[in-house]
Each structure stands twice: as structure tokens, then as C-alpha cells.
Amino acid sequence: MSDVILNDPRVVVTGDALDVQGHDLELRDAKRMREPSTHTGRRALVHDFSDGLTINYNNDFPGGVTINDLKVIPPRRRSFSGASTTPQPINVAAAIVQLQEQVEDLYKKVADLSARVP
């Protein structure tokens, strides 16, 4: 069962799925806007021209996008080499730490090599 409940100041939509037959989901609150939008609304989600989903289309939200407590990025279908792989989820925090360690190691190696050059 589904329903639309008008409970001022809220609108509540209940059901198993919400089918929006349009390309833009706009959010705006004049009290929270630091600067006026160049678009009639602030496009939070857009079904874009590449058949993709874009968050904060055309930077309509100048404060950017914040994702709190992001744990995993779903797996890619192919590796960077193009070979088929068994998809594995990526732990974002662990991947960032690993990349930071690799960059630090590279800086040390460059410093060591620079010290050896006459």
C-alpha cells in the first residue's frame, strides 16, 4: 500500500518504491542558501545526459556534497588493465590510508635518490 500524506510542513510518501518520471530532483531552502542559484532550483540529483546519476549538478550547491560515514564503494566491473576481475568492495578509509603510506614511501625514495646525486 502507498499513500501521500500532507502533514504541514511535511509531505510524507509511503510505499515500496518512488517512481520519479523526470530528470531533476531539486532541493532549496531560502534560509539556508548563501547565494542565489542560477537555476530555478538547486539540482540535488540529476539523471544526466550520459544516462548517469549526478549529485550536485553544475555545482548548484556551492557548499559541496558531504557524505557522512561512507564505508564502501561498490566494486568495479573491470580492473584498470581491462582484465576481468572478481569484484571486491573498496573500503574507502583503508584505501586512503594505503595511498597516503605509498605517497610517503615515494617521497622518502625521491629524497634518498636526490641525496645520492652529486
The predicted-structure confidence for 11-64, as pLDDT tens digits, reads as follows 999 999 999 999 999 888 878 877 765 656 789 999 999 999 999 998 888 888
Nearest CA among 87, 110, 106, 109 for reference residue 98: 106
- So what's the pLDDT on residue 13? 93
Cell of 72: 564502501
* The predicted structure's pLDDT at residue 75: 66
C-alpha dist (Å) from residue 76 to 73, 85, 88, 100, 104: 9, 9, 8, 22, 27
User: At residue 93, does pLDDT exceed 90?
Assistant: no
Per-residue pLDDT averaged across 67-81, rounded?
A: 69
The pTM of the full predicted model, rounded to 2 decimals, is 0.58
Q: Is the pLDDT of residue 80 over 60?
A: no
